[in-house]
Amino acid sequence: MRLGQKNRTLVCLLWQIQFADDMQEFTKFPTKTGRRSLSRSISQSSTDSYSSAASYTDSSDDEVSPREKQQTNSKGSSNFCVKNIKQAEFGRREIEIAEQDMSALISLRKRAQGEKPLAGAKIVGCTHITAQTAVLIETLCALGAQCRWSACNIYSTQNEVAAALAEAGVAVFAWKGESEDDFWWCIDRCVNMDGWQANMILDDGGDLTHWVYKKYPNVFKKIRGIVEESVTGVHRLYQLSKAGKLCVPAMNVNDSVTKQKFDNLYCCRESILDGLKRTTDVMFGGKQVVVCGYGEVGKGCCAALKALGAIVYITEIDPICALQACMDGFRVVKLNEVIRQVDVVITCTGNKNVVTREHLDRMKNSCIVCNMGHSNTEIDVGRLLNLSCSTVPTFVLSITATTQALALIELYNAPEGRYKQDVYLLPKKMDEYVASLHLPSFDAHLTELTDDQAKYLGLNKNGPFKPNYYR
């Protein structure tokens, strides 16, 4: 079962070492376990990355299940199931604000709207349902597609955004706090509709794909392709492919260069500071920090921490990354060597049991332990306070969403035979196109090759500029 799986880049789990007597206090105040900044820590249900805007209306809402409500939008349609259609206006405002930082998608709407490259596309989608994905969904519609949508996570839906989508005519089936049964019911409502058959799948985690495989294998006869965004979902696709069971082309957008750089290096450079500050009020200057793993995530964390005056140590298993850490000015140590002296431990390895119970026992009181990696298993959690927090700038989500839109367009319009029943990376040229759509928001001006220069370099003037193996 994969309910509630976390999207890796966006979650920053934090704990803080607290010794025994403190723990007794906690027992007495079970709902107030945090430090003074507890009021700012975000509750379990919102640890998921997309839910940075808490649904302030939840508490006042009635407790009737959306499945039992009869709701119609202002045009009389009931082709949806959301918490409360009346929240649409506020949700619309959220979407409009998200649009401001997703100008690449807006620009894509404008550039491609004339030709409607998704005319005829019938897309079933299963993603987080937030203001940012709403901008994606409405872009797909603007390009000609029909969409039916459910949530890939039982907690992450912004109810007011779902309402706004429903009000705008999208067939959306999602609310915050679905049960496991609700979850599959919503997916089923998207796929299983009389007189409408999907020809494209946009998935995040692979649950939708899994459901179609299991319940409606015939649907694949019409499907032109699957676009999958998550590590987990991509992994499942490669397994299907290996087993010879993948019956349509699939696009792995998780590993596109632009997305990777933003999800890892740049996003973590910003979010490590934010995540720690929001939950702990730690001052970075002079703090001793050990970062486990010096891949892209680790590099991003280290750059930010060093810049703000922290003293950073690295642990690595890979000599190439270790040598890079040396050249970047970090001491490469084993965790044992510094565990007693550090104020913060950050794991970015993707490995398991990187921080063991023994390490935890040797840490200073009030040492902060933070997991920035994609595995929940990096830390052998024990005597720890969970101060989880998460955030990701809309701009980063814009890159993901634009990549998804382009992958859908590419698969939908690809000439017969370009893509087989296999998993593909986004063509480098489209990767570059995603990047170029985001340059205007920085007022960045690309230089163009002259004919002569293009010839000298053996490149097409319009790209791709990178070999396919570049990353």
Work out how close the CB of 271 gets to a copy of itself at its nearest, in angstroms, rounded to a whole number. Answer: 9
Q: Which one of 73-81, 94-102, 112-120, 199-207 is the stretch in contact with a copy of itself (CB under 8 A)?
A: 94-102
Q: Is 330 in the site for a copy of itself (CB under 8 A)?
A: yes
Q: Which one of 192-200, 226-234, 322-330, 410-418 is the stretch in contact with a copy of itself (CB under 8 A)?
A: 322-330
| 361 labeled binding residue | no
Q: List the one residue from 76, 114, 329, 415 that touches a copy of itself (CB under 8 A).
A: 329
Work out how close the CB of 233 gets to a copy of itself at its nearest, in angstroms, rounded to a whole number. Answer: 18
Q: Is 76 in the site for a copy of itself (CB under 8 A)?
A: no
**Token pair listed for 407:** 């992958």
CA–CA separation, 90 and 82 (whole Å)? 14
3-state helix, strand, coil in the chain (%, to 5): 45, 15, 40
Q: 438: closest CA among 316, 166, 256?
A: 256
Q: Which one of 111-119, 331-339, 382-390, 404-412 is the stretch in contact with a copy of itself (CB under 8 A)?
A: 331-339
| 86 labeled binding residue | no
* H-only helix segments in 51-170: 88-100, 103-113, 131-142, 159-167
Tell me the residue ranges of DSSP E strands in 382-428. 384-386, 389-390, 423-425
CA–CA separation, 402 and 400 (whole Å)? 6
Q: Is 383 in the site for a copy of itself (CB under 8 A)?
A: no
Q: Is 396 in the site for a copy of itself (CB under 8 A)?
A: yes
CA–CA separation, 251 and 110 (whole Å)? 24
| 295 labeled binding residue | yes
Q: Is 7 in the site for a copy of itself (CB under 8 A)?
A: no
Mode of pairing for the β-strands spanning 423-425 and 171-173: unpaired
Cβ proximity to a copy of itself: between 67 and 261 the closer is: 261
Q: Is 304 in the site for a copy of itself (CB under 8 A)?
A: yes
| 296 labeled binding residue | yes
- Fill in the amino acid letter for 347: T
Work out how close the CB of 56 gets to a copy of itself at its nearest, in angstroms, rounded to a whole number. Answer: 6
| 299 labeled binding residue | yes
Cis previous bond, 415, omega within 30 = no
Q: Which one of 64-72, 73-81, 387-395, 401-409 is the stretch in contact with a copy of itself (CB under 8 A)?
A: 387-395
Quick note: the x/- pattern for a copy of itself over 444-463, rule CB under 8 A, is xxxxxxx-xx--xx-----x
Q: Is 30 in the site for a copy of itself (CB under 8 A)?
A: no
What residues numbered 350-369 form the site for a copy of itself, per CB under 8 A?
Answer: 350-354, 365-366
What residues numbered 118-157 form the site for a copy of itself, per CB under 8 A?
Answer: 131
Cβ proximity to a copy of itself: between 199 and 280 the closer is: 280
Cβ proximity to a copy of itself: between 191 and 310 the closer is: 310
Burial profile 437-465: b = 16 or more Cβ within 10 angstroms, e = fewer: bbeeeeeeeeeebeeeeeeeeeeeeebbe
Q: List the one residue from 183, 395, 412, 419 that touches a copy of itself (CB under 8 A).
A: 395
Cα dihedral 316, 320, 325, 326 sign:
positive
How large is the greatest C-alpha to C-alpha distance in the chain, in angstroms? Answer: 76
Cβ proximity to a copy of itself: between 221 and 242 the closer is: 242
What residues numbered 253-282 form the site for a copy of itself, per CB under 8 A?
Answer: 257-258, 261-262, 266, 269-270, 273-274, 277-278, 281-282
Half-sphere exposure of 248 (CA within 13 A, CB side): 25
Task: DSSP for 198-267, please give it.
Answer: -SEEEESSSHHHHHHHHH-GGGGGT--EEEE-SHHHHHHHHHHHHTT---S-EEE-TT-HHHHHIIIIIH
| 416 labeled binding residue | no
Cβ proximity to a copy of itself: between 16 and 73 the closer is: 16
| 300 labeled binding residue | yes
Angle between the 88-100 and 131-142 helix axes, to the nearest 10 degrees?
Answer: 80
Q: Is 103 in the site for a copy of itself (CB under 8 A)?
A: no
Q: List the one residue from 85, 88, 98, 121 that touches a copy of itself (CB under 8 A).
A: 98
Q: Which residues are annotated as a binding site for substrate?
A: 130, 204, 229, 259, 263
